[in-house]
């Protein structure tokens, strides 16, 4: 059994947090119709202090959702439209020569990365050099120019979007950068009913402007509560087993992975999955993360971290299929029972 | 495990408040779940271990029966010891299940996973989990299911194997490659010795010696040198056969002598005073001799007394009747002996034709003998042969002569051996000779003989008709046929 060394979160402590987060979700659902699951996972990503890669067709509301989230959280929000000629300095900033008090000196002009929420729109249109400029910012939350390292504001999130259908003139994100995104979320197109509500309620696509619900200080308090969410060792072991089994050479890996996966997920994925599972537990009003919380975040955490071979493309196997098979095949509680003894929930 | 829907909370926080009396950490649920798991593992291991044990037991039973008990059924002790082994199986399974059953921590994790408790079941009480106890209230114990169809089927097969190994007769033999299977032969020899001993064919010492010899051969029998063993056994069997043949021959003679004695006694009884004194004395001598030979010298004392008195006063009818009964009894004894020898495979059938006695003829023959010819030995010999010699004459000839068959007649002069004749020859076309080549039909002179054709100078003697295509070159031959000598040109007949 778990002994955390400190007192567990009480219902009185968890209750207001859940209420606050539920309010944010409600506002998001009101602005961007028909995407409650996506909003929930984005909020989980924010609580986990992770970066999110949104992939979806143009016009499904990716930018609107991120902008609304920035407004709800009353955080600084910058948007960069990535283009092939975008330079690293256009993002991180650059020193310029300025005359001040009769003296000329190099003064650093911060780029758009110095914000709380950075929307990197169509990130795969920038050249790899420019994409790589964000590596340090995303992982270390600081940038280094002219030999000087500058810390980014806290909190700092990158919410990037990319268009999956246009391949011409795009540069696929390198694995190192993809791995820095906690989630890769697919933004589905809304249903016909949802589109009808959008048409009836919004002329010319104008969304309502939400009120800010959580400021930066409030968000830090949320993070502090998040830190106290407990993950039992059995759940940690399950997370570790899941991530280890994404590698084809792992004995626990299912046949689908051995056949189609060339590279599995990194330890960073395990860390991110554990954090995300804690966030899901907090959203559900619990002080502990359980197996089902891990299952809930396994797909968005792992789907962009596993590199499939060409055979998978030919056979139409998607990363989602692989993750679903993985979650189904790994025994969450490694009880060591014989295969022919099965345990079910009591009546 | 199915992926959870992140949009749906697993346990609502707005549930009812913690109920008093509910166990905060679900200890009883954990214990019940653990007991169920122990039970399933125990039964599973019991069945699997029992299958292995039963197979070993069955094989051991088969080997044991072949080596120790032959084809006889397994003793009850064997079943009892084997059954005790099943107790060991139970003990081992109980220990294994206790060792293998998951710990309480793992059980907590399983309960948490199965009932989607969100990790609350895995927390320690001292971290303040009591505030969340309603989350683990009403947790049901785990339901354990064992899919052991294959194991149960294997158990049934193994059980049937053990029962079959213990109950089905197994042919003994061949278990020890260095031993010879002599049981049946030795059993036969022992039976034969016993019969010969019982019937006094063998004396006690000789029978014991033969038994010892048989036992020694059995002990020294080895598959490494089977010839030696079989030779020794053949020697023993031959010895017994010889003894039995001698005994049977003697018995056959004794039967004849007993029959002859009985017939003589009846003949004397039939004569009833018609015999002269000399004839009677000779008959008594013969009777005494025949009785002595039939009884192998072991004549009862009353017979000796009766025979001694007979010289003076003769034999009365009652004594003669007793003598006949004695001989009949002796004959029956000897027949029994022959049957006993036949029963153990030592019979050799009849030694010669059985003698048929005719007391009436014997009486007449005795009455015809002159006083000087009435010798005991002569009368005994006539009695044993069963034929009374005649004096000769037309109607007193030597009797019918037996037909004898000699060698079969030689067939050499009576029949002919078939001979294969060469096949009839057809004229080979390859041997024909070309006379010439012409564009038109060949011109053949009717008066000239043709070198070709099979009908030259041939006269018809009947034969079969045949359709043959007449080619132009055959025209001459056909013409000659109808113009041949002796044929009437008017009507085509000769």
Helix pair B226-271, B277-294: axis angle to 10 deg: 160
Q: Which two tokens stand for residue B115?
A: 């009932």
pLDDT score, position A240: 94
CB contacts under 8 A, B 426-445 vs A, are: none
State which residue of chain A sits closest to B102, comparing Cα positions.
A335
Which chain B residues are closer than 8 Å to A347 by Cβ? 140, 143
Please report the residues numbered 18 through 47 in chain B whose beta carbons come closer than 8 angstroms to any beta carbon of chain A: 37, 40-41, 44
Q: How far apart are CA B109 and CA A333, in angstroms?
A: 6
Two structure tokens written together for A44: 């989980």
A162-166, B10-14, B472-476: which range is least confident on average?
B10-14
Q: What is the pLDDT of residue B158?
A: 92
Q: What is the pLDDT of residue B461?
A: 46
Instruction: Say if residue A323's pLDDT is above 80.
Output: yes
Q: Which of B118, B132, B138, B151 to mutate to test the interface with A (most CBs of A within 10 A)?
A: B118
Query: Phi and psi dihedrals of B300, rounded to 5?
Result: -65, 150
Inter-chain touch B127–A341, beta carbons under 8 Å: no
Please name the residue that has the structure tokens 């009120």: A211
Element (H, E) at B326: helix B317-343
B151 touching A (Cβ < 8 Å): yes
Query: What confidence score (pLDDT) does residue A294 get?
Result: 94
* Site from A301, A341, A342, A344 to mutate, B interface, most B CB atoms within 10 angstroms: A341
Mean pLDDT of chain B: 73
Q: Which of A141-155, B260-274, B330-344 has the highest mean pLDDT?
A: A141-155
Q: Are A317 and A300 contacting, i.e. CB atoms less than 8 angstroms apart?
A: no
pLDDT in tens, A197-221: 888 877 665 667 778 888 888 888 8
Q: In the predicted model, is pLDDT for residue B86 greater than 90? A: no
Q: What is the pLDDT of residue B244?
A: 84
| pLDDT for residue B239 is more than 50 | yes
Residue B240 has pLDDT above 80, yes or no: yes
Q: How distant, in Å, are the alpha carbons of B54, B363, B396, B397, B401 from that of B393?
A: 95, 21, 5, 6, 16
Nearest by CB to residue B126, choosing from A3, A230, A231, is A3
- Tell whether omega for the bond before B232 is within 30 degrees of 0, i.e. cis: no
Q: Which two tokens stand for residue A95?
A: 């020193």
Whether the predicted pLDDT of A285 surpasses 80: yes
| SS3 assignment for B431-443 | HCCCCCCCCCCCC
pLDDT of residue B262: 80
| Cross-chain residue pair A288–B142, CB shorter than 8 Å | no
The ipTM value here is 0.80
Question: Which phi and psi angles does B330 have, rounded to 5°?
Answer: -65, -40
Of A147 and B309, the structure prediction assigns the larger pLDDT to: A147
How far apart, in whole angstroms, are the C-alpha atoms of residue A206 and residue A24?
A: 20
Q: What pLDDT score does A322 carry?
A: 93
Q: What percent of chain B has pLDDT over 70?
A: 65
CB contact under 8 A, A341 and B145: yes
Model confidence at A277, in pLDDT bands (50, 70, 90)?
very high
Percent helix, strand and coil across chain B, each rounded to 5? Answer: 60, 0, 40
Higher pLDDT: B72 or B380? It is B380
The C-alpha atoms of residue B381 and residue B79 are separated, in whole angstroms, by 72
Q: What is the mean pLDDT of residues A254-259?
A: 92
Mean pLDDT highest for which of A168-177, A229-238, B192-201? Answer: A229-238
Q: Which of A307, A81, A83 is nearest to A179 (CA)?
A: A307
**CA Rg value for chain B:** 55
Residues 6+ apart with CB under 8 A from B113: A290, A291, A292, A332, A333, B1
pLDDT at A274: 95
What is the C-alpha separation between A307 and A248, in angstroms, rounded? 11
Q: Which of B40, B135, B140 sits opposite A341 (nearest CB)?
A: B40
User: How confident is residue B453, by pLDDT bands cut at 50, 70 and 90?
Assistant: very low
| Contact by Cβ (8 Å): B472, B438 | no
How far, in Å, CA of B163 to CA of B58, rounded?
8
Residue A263 has pLDDT above 60, yes or no: yes
Residue A301 has pLDDT above 90, yes or no: yes
Predicted pLDDT of residue B379 = 78
> Most B CBs within 10 Å: which of A5, A345, A347, as the mutation test of the B interface?
A345
Is A273 a residue whose pLDDT tops 90?
yes
- Rounded to whole angstroms, the Cα distance separating A32 from B204 reads 123
- When pLDDT is cut at 50, 70 and 90, the band that residue A326 belongs to is very high
B36: closest chain A residue by CA? A343
> Among all residues of chain B, which has the CA nearest to that of A237?
B109
Contacts of B153 in chain A (CB under 8 A): none
Rounded to an integer, what distance in angstroms lies between the CA atom of residue B195 and that of residue B340? 7
Beta strand ranges found along A46-190 (DSSP E): 51-56, 77-81, 93-100, 103-110, 117-121, 142-145, 148-151, 157-162, 181-187
Token pair, residue A28, equals 């998001």
- Residue with the two structure tokens 């120019």: A145
- Phi first, then psi, for residue B82 (nearest 5°) are -65, -40
CB B128 within 8 A of CB A6: no
Distance CA B43, CA B260 (A): 88
| Two structure tokens written together for A206 | 């104008």
Confidence check: pLDDT of A313 > 50: yes
**Strand ranges for B41-174 from DSSP E:** 143-146
B301 or B46: which carries more pLDDT confidence?
B46
- Which has the closest alpha carbon to A184: A307, A74, A67, A20? A307
The pLDDT score that the predictor gives to residue B477 is: 77
Q: Which residues of A touch B145 (CB under 8 A)?
A: 341-344
Q: Which of A300-314, B136-150, B446-460 is predicted most confidently?
A: A300-314
Q: Which residue has the tokens 């030597």?
A: B398
CA atoms within 13 A on the CB side of B490: 0
Cα–Cα distance between A54 and A290 in angstroms, integer? 26
Cβ distance A39 to A65 under 8 Å?
Answer: yes
Q: How far is CA A224 from CA A49, A76, A129, in A?
A: 12, 21, 36
pLDDT value of residue B312: 65
Q: Which segments of B170-203 does DSSP mark as H helices, in order?
A: 183-198
Specify the residue for token string 């069963």. B386
Judge contact between A212 and A71, C-beta under 8 A. yes
Residues B150-170: tens digit of each pLDDT: 999 999 999 999 888 877 776
Strand segments, DSSP code E, in A284-336 are 307-308
């Amino acid at each position: 059994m778990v002994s955390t060394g400190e007192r567990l979160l009480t219902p009185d402590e968890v209750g207001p947090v859940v209420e606050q987060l539920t309010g944010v979700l409600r506002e998001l659902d009101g602005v961007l119709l028909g995407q409650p699951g996506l909003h929930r996972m984005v909020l989980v990503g924010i609580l986990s202090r992770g970066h999110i890669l949104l992939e979806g067709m143009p016009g499904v509301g990716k930018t609107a959702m991120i902008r609304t989230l920035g407004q709800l959280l009353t955080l600084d929000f910058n948007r960069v439209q990535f283009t092939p000629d975008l330079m690293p300095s256009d993002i991180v900033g650059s020193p310029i020569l300025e005359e001040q008090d009769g003296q000329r000196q190099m003064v650093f002009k911060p780029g758009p990365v110095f914000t709380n929420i950075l929307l990197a729109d169509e990130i795969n249109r920038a050249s790899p050099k420019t994409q790589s400029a964000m590596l340090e910012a995303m992982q270390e939350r600081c940038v280094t120019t002219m030999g000087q390292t500058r810390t980014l504001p806290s909190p700092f999130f990158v919410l990037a979007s990319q268009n999956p259908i246009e391949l011409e003139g795009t540069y696929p994100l390198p694995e190192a950068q993809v791995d820095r995104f906690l989630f890769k979320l697919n933004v589905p197109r809304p249903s016909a009913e949802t589109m009808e509500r959008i048409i009836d309620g919004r002329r010319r696509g104008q969304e309502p402007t939400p009120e800010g619900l959580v400021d930066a200080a409030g968000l830090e308090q949320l993070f502090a509560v998040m830190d106290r969410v407990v993950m039992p060792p059995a759940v940690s072991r399950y997370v570790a087993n899941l991530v280890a089994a994404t590698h084809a050479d792992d004995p626990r890996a299912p046949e689908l992975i051995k056949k189609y996966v060339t590279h599995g997920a990194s330890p960073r994925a395990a860390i991110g999955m554990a954090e995300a599972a804690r966030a899901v537990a907090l959203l559900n009003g619990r002080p502990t993360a359980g197996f089902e919380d891990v299952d809930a975040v396994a797909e968005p955490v792992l789907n962009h971290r596993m590199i499939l071979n060409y055979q998978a493309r030919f056979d139409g196997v998607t990363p989602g299929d692989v993750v679903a098979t993985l979650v189904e095949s790994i025994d969450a509680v490694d009880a060591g029972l014989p295969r022919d003894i099965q345990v079910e929930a009591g009546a | 495990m199915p992926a959870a829907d992140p949009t749906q909370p697993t346990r609502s926080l707005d549930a009812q408040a913690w109920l008093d009396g509910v166990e905060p950490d679900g200890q009883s649920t954990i214990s019940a779940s653990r007991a169920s798991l122990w039970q399933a593992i125990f039964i599973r291991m019991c069945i699997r271990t029992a299958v292995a044990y039963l197979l070993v037991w069955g094989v051991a039973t088969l080997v044991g029966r072949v080596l120790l008990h032959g084809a006889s059924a397994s003793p009850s002790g064997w079943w009892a010891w084997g059954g005790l082994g099943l107790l060991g199986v139970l003990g081992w399974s109980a220990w294994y299940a206790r060792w293998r059953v998951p710990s309480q921590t793992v059980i907590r994790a399983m309960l948490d996973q199965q009932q989607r408790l969100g990790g609350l079941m895995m927390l320690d009480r001292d971290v303040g989990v009591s505030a969340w106890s309603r989350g683990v209230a009403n947790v049901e114990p785990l339901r354990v299911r064992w899919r052991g169809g294959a194991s149960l089927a294997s158990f049934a097969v193994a059980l049937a194997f053990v029962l079959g190994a213990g109950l089905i007769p197994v042919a003994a033999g061949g278990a020890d490659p260095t031993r010879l299977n002599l049981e049946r032969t030795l059993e036969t020899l022992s039976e034969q010795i016993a019969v010969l001993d019982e019937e006094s064919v063998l004396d006690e010492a000789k029978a014991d010696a033969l038994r010892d010899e048989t036992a020694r051969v059995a002990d020294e029998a080895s598959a490494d040198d089977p010839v030696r063993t079989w030779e020794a056994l053949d020697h023993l069997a031959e010895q017994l056969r010889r003894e039995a043949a001698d005994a049977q021959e003697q018995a056959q003679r004794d039967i004849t002598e007993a029959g002859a004695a009985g017939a003589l006694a009846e003949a004397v009884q039939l004569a009833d005073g018609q015999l002269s004194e000399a004839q009677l004395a000779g008959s008594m001598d013969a009777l005494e001799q025949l009785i002595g030979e039939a009884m192998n010298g072991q004549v009862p004392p009353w017979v000796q007394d009766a025979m001694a008195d007979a010289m003076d006063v003769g034999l009365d009818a009652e004594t003669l009747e007793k003598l006949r009964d004695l001989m009949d009894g002796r004959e029956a004894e000897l027949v029994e002996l022959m049957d006993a020898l036949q029963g153990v495979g030592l019979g050799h059938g009849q030694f010669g034709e059985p003698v048929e006695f005719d007391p009436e003829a014997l009486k007449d023959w005795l009455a015809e003998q002159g006083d000087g010819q009435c010798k005991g030995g002569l009368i005994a010999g006539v009695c044993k042969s069963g034929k009374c010699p005649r004096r000769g004459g037309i109607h007193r000839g030597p009797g019918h002569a037996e037909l004898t068959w000699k060698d079969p007649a030689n067939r050499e002069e009576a029949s002919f051996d078939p001979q294969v004749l060469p096949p009839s020859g057809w004229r080979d076309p390859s041997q024909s000779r070309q006379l010439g080549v012409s564009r038109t039909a060949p011109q053949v002179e009717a008066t000239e003989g043709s070198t070709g054709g099979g009908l030259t100078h041939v006269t018809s003697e009947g034969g079969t008709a045949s359709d043959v295509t007449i080619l132009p070159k055959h025209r001459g031959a056909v013409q000659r046929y109808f113009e041949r000598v002796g044929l009437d040109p008017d009507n085509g007949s000769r």
